[in-house]
Amino acid sequence: MASTKEPAWVTKADRVSIWIVTIGSLIVGAFILIGFAVSTIGQVSSGEVTFPVITDTAVPAGEFGQDKGLISATYTEAQVTASGLSTFPFVAFIAANAINTLVALVVTLALAFMGWRWLRGDPFRTSVIYSGIAAAIALMLGPFVALLLSTTATTRALLEIAGPKEGRPDLIFAAEFNLAPFLAGVGLAVVLGIFEAGQKLKADTDGLV
């Protein structure tokens, strides 16, 4: 039976910090889930979706006054709200949002679980490693899958609401992949390697006692 005594090296300040991270992760996860539910219900009930579109439209110089040195200006992004889309882009937008939400939930729950196991004095349990692996995989793969869905949906939606490029404003499709979640997943995988080494060291030490 695992001991519930906190590690001797954990100070009172450490315990407070771990409690804050554990409870805070659960609260953040709850808000993320509620936000997704509210957003999805709103989209389904209204039949509308809002998504960003890269643009290359000149900004009238008058909007900036008569500032000296102004050569040119462009709008680089526009928020498009569309209704009446076909099933595929509409569902794809919701699925992309769902995947991003799932990634955030997996990470927050993994943090909460790690903090809870640490407070119980057993931070190197195998289940902690597995929860971390799930978070690392979610961070590395989830955003990519969500990007694939959202960019495909955006392309299809633009064709449906704006038609071919001729005769409509210059809307440019561009996909930007944020490497931060992927790198965070790699970093978490490295930390998990250290945890696994600690787990093995703990098992070896227990075997010597």
Name the 3-class secondary structure at 5: coil
Please report, to the nearest 10 degrees, the dihedral formed by the alpha carbons of residues 185, 189, 190, 191 taken in order. Answer: 100
What is the model's pLDDT at position 167?
A: 46
Average pLDDT along the chain, 209 residues, taken 10 residues at a time: 51 81 91 93 90 71 59 74 90 94 93 84 76 90 91 85 57 64 84 74 63
Give residue 1's pLDDT: 44
Q: Residue 207 has what pLDDT?
A: 60
Alpha-carbon span 159 to 168, nearest angstrom:
11
Q: What pLDDT does residue 30 have?
A: 94
Where do the domains of the chain lie?
12-208
Q: Which two tokens stand for residue 138?
A: 């979610």
pLDDT for 2 equals: 46
Q: So what's the pLDDT on residue 3?
A: 47
Q: In what order do the strands lie in the sheet with 74-83?
A: 74-83, 48-58, 171-172
Model confidence pTM above 0.85: no
Secondary structure (DSSP) of 13-81: HHHHHHHHHHHHHHHHHHHHHHHHHHHHHHHHHHTEEEEEEEEEEEPPGGGGTT-TT----EEEEEEEE
